[in-house]
């Protein structure tokens, strides 16, 4: 309590009383001008309240002044470094791309310095030659009362003579999924744009001319440019997304060129030019082909049963892709797997697989209904044997114990097998493992056009004579 009393007496004597006297004096001076104010100032309680408010304002002002006098720190991160040197002749190593700058000063000055922090960290290397040097980085002070410290402020650099090397360019497509699936790429040319002056209707005009580019120049330190394995043009197909693509030539601008080493790592190296244009020739070719159902494990069907019909929800599908790819596709295979001991009819829903090079399909799925019936069998004679995969250095001759035709046992429902003839069946032997001449015994395989039936050779093996041409 004594302490509180002392503090009260101190404020009463040193602050409140002097301010009260000051206010009373002011009141005496203006009492003739403002009667209500005089009444207010004559009241002791009012003068005490006003004195406290004034004291608080003075305290805040003094405290804020003290704060502005304190030193604080702010950091400007990743400030770019600008080096002055002959970029055509030299390569610099060891120079950081960015530095951090610590600013020390009062809060007000730091705030002002941050608003003016558009200066660039510089280093002048124009007087230096090939070799290793210690250099100081400089930053122009935006506010003189603020102290600036660079991290790092001094660096060790090495200057090399710049070498150049010619490299071929390859294309790599980025965001290929953004291209309309009905289009495919027929051809791509990389070009640079050069301006030419021409007289048109008596007036000089500037026109752009595309010049095809197949190689570029990489520049840098000698041992660095020798590590360049490939230069790729990264063609962003996003520029041809939506309705912006059309049949024929489409131009993609600002295609970046990137160098890679033999490990596929991107290299930080100068490429001239650094960007090109890509003229992408698109085509919207399509082709309609039939669906061919392939039956796997048909022997899994229960004994006494056979496939009577195979019905599909669609008979044909339209393929979209380049004309070159589509030319070699004449059907789409859809495989169904027969489960073990299949006893009754079954329905399959299958995703249609896109062949390699095909951009899109008109239909993505197909439904296949497999119906079973009572099995029967018949023997078809006169099926000729063919030879597959024989090395071009050899010829085949049948031995005295062999034959060129065999009968084939065909199993299936009566309505199916009754129409199958020898011309609908193929018997063949696979000679891909034959590497020397002489007599060999090989297995006979059989297949037929109607996939609802099964085909078994009545002779499982034949002898052949292999001779050199």
Domains and CATH numbers, the chain: 2-69 (no CATH), 72-161 (2.170.120.30), 164-283 (no CATH), 286-374 (2.170.120.40), 376-468 (2.170.120.30)
Element (H, E) at 243: none
Measured distance CA(240)–CA(252) in Å, rounded: 8
CB crowding 332-344: b at 16 or more within 10 Å, else e: bebebebeeebee
C-alpha R_g of the chain = 45
Residue 110: per-residue pLDDT = 85
Helices (H), 164-270: 222-225
Q: Which strands sit side by side in the sheet containing 98-105, from one edge to the other? A: 121-124, 72-84, 98-105, 147-151
What is the secondary structure of 22-40 as a DSSP string?
HHHHHHHHHTTT-HHHHHH
Name 59's Cβ contacts closer than 8 Å, sequence gap at least 6: none
**Which residue in 70, 140, 142, 66 sits closest to 105, CA to CA?**
70
Residue 13: per-residue pLDDT = 62
How far, CA to CA in Å, does 245 sit from each of 145, 179, 240, 403? 59, 8, 5, 61
Each of the 469 residues of the chain gets a pLDDT tens digit; together they read: 555 556 656 656 666 666 666 666 665 665 555 555 555 555 556 656 565 666 556 555 544 444 445 688 888 898 899 999 998 899 999 999 999 989 898 888 888 888 776 678 999 999 999 999 999 999 887 788 888 899 999 999 999 999 999 999 999 999 998 898 889 899 999 999 877 777 777 777 777 778 889 999 999 999 999 999 999 999 999 988 877 888 899 999 999 999 999 999 999 999 999 999 999 999 989 999 999 999 999 999 999 999 999 999 999 999 998 888 999 999 999 999 999 989 999 999 999 999 998 999 999 999 999 999 999 999 999 999 999 999 989 999 877 777 889 999 999 999 999 999 999 999 999 999 998 999 999 999 999 999 999 999 999 999 899 999 8
Residue 209: per-residue pLDDT = 79
**Phi, psi at residue 222, to the nearest 5°?**
-55, -50
SS3 265: coil
Do 218 and 269 contact (CB within 8 A), yes or no?
A: yes
Measured distance CA(273)–CA(169) in Å, rounded: 12
Q: Is the dihedral of CA 28, 32, 33, 37 positive or negative?
A: positive
Residue 66: per-residue pLDDT = 47
Measured distance CA(352)–CA(312) in Å, rounded: 12
Do 83 and 45 contact (CB within 8 A), yes or no?
A: no
Residue 65: per-residue pLDDT = 46
**Which residue in 115, 117, 112, 106 sits closest to 139, CA to CA?**
117
Measured distance CA(221)–CA(110) in Å, rounded: 42
Give the number of other Cβ atoms within 10 Å of residue 284's Cβ.
15
Helices (H), 342-430: 414-417
Name 32's Cβ contacts closer than 8 Å, sequence gap at least 6: none
User: C-alpha dihedral over 292, 296, 301, 304, to 10 degrees?
Assistant: 60
Do 137 and 81 contact (CB within 8 A), yes or no?
A: yes
Residues paired with residue 370 on neighbouring β-strands, in sequence order:
310, 346
Residue 67: per-residue pLDDT = 46
């Amino acid at each position: 309590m004594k302490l509180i009393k002392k503090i009260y007496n101190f404020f009463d004597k040193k602050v409140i009383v002097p301010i009260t006297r000051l206010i009373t004096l002011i009141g005496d001076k203006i009492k003739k001008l403002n009667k209500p104010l005089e009444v207010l100032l004559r009241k002791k309680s009012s003068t005490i309240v006003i004195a406290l408010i004034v004291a608080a304002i003075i305290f805040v002002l003094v405290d804020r002044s003290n704060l502005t006098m304190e030193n604080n720190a702010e950091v400007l991160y990743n400030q770019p470094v600008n080096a002055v040197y002959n970029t055509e002749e030299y390569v610099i190593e060891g120079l950081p791309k960015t530095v951090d700058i610590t600013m020390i000063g009062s809060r007000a000055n730091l705030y002002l310095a941050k608003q003016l922090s558009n200066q660039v960290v510089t280093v002048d290397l124009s007087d230096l030659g090939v070799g290793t040097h210690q250099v100081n980085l400089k930053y122009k002070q935006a506010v003189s009362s603020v102290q600036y410290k660079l991290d790092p402020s001094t660096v060790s650099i090495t200057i090399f003579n710049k070498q150049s090397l010619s490299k071929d360019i390859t294309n790599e497509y980025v965001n290929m999924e953004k291209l309309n699936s009905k289009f495919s790429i027929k051809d791509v040319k990389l070009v640079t744009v050069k301006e030419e002056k021409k007289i048109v209707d008596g007036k000089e005009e500037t026109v752009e001319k595309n010049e095809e580019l197949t190689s570029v120049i990489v520049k840098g330190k000698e041992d660095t440019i020798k590590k360049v394995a490939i230069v790729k043009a990264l063609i962003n197909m996003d520029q041809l997304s939506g309705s912006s693509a059309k049949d024929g030539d489409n131009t993609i601008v600002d295609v970046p060129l990137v160098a890679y080493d033999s490990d596929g790592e991107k290299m930080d190296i100068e490429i001239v030019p650094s960007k090109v244009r890509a003229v992408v020739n698109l085509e919207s070719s399509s082709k309609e082909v039939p669906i061919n159902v392939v039956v796997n494990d048909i022997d899994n069907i229960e004994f006494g049963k056979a496939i009577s019909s195979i019905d599909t929800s669609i008979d044909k599908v339209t393929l979209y892709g380049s004309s070159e790819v589509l030319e070699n596709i004449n059907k789409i295979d859809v495989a169904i797997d027969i489960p073990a001991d299949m006893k009754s009819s079954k329905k399959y829903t299958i995703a249609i697989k896109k062949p390699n090079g095909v951009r899109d399909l008109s239909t993505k799925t197909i439904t296949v209904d497999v119906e079973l019936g009572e099995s029967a069998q018949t023997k078809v004679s006169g099926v000729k044997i063919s030879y597959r995969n024989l090395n071009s250095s050899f010829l085949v001759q049948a031995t005295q114990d062999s034959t060129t035709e065999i009968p084939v046992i065909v199993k299936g429902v009566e309505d199916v097998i009754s129409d199958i003839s020898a011309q609908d069946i193929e018997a063949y032997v696979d000679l891909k493992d034959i590497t020397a001449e002489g007599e060999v015994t090989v297995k006979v395989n059989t297949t037929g056009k109607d996939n609802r039936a099964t085909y078994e050779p009545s002779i499982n093996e034949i002898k052949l004579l292999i001779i050199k041409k």
